[in-house]
Amino acid sequence: GQQVMQIPQYQHVQEGEDFTTYCNSSTTLSNIQWYKQRPGGHPVFLIQLVKSGEVKKQKRLTFQFGEAKKNSSLHITATQTTDVGTYFCAGISGGSNYKLTFGKGTLLTVNP
């Protein structure tokens, strides 16, 4: 079955440093979504990428979808303490019946 690998598992940064998490799928994806989960909370949708090579920005967050539609990344510029949480990528592949396969997530902690 489809597998989605995400690295790193943990990342600790000083406030102001940049952060990147990477996602790789074993199969070509129809789209990839990114979610953020604050400690003790539930996953919240951030963005969806659909097109090959797509790049989207949300303030300090930059999301990329690879040309082959098998990998993606989330980059945060100048982290803030409010960025703390676990970031998940999740992909849908053709024939998956709209089921999302989640990566295991990257836990980001930020030292003020």
Partner 1 sequence: IAGITQAPTSQILAAGRRMTLRCTQDMRHNAMYWYRQDLGLGLRLIHYSNTAGTTGKGEVPDGYSVSRANTDDFPLTLASAVPSQTSVYFCATGTGLNEQFFGPGTRLTVL
Whole-number Å distance between alpha carbons of 42 and 69: 27
Cα(13)–Cα(110) distance, integer angstroms = 5
Is residue 98 at the binding interface for partner 1, with CB under 8 A as the rule? yes
Q: Report the nearest approach of partner 1 to the CB of residue 112 (Å).
A: 25
Single residue of 25, 105, 108, 110 touching partner 1 by CB under 8 A: 105
Span 78-97, contacts to partner 1 by CB under 8 A: 88, 90, 92, 97
Tell which one of 19, 36, 43, 70 touches partner 1 (CB under 8 A). 43
Residues making contact with partner 1 (CB under 8 A): 1, 6, 9, 30-31, 33, 42-45, 48, 88, 90, 92, 97-105
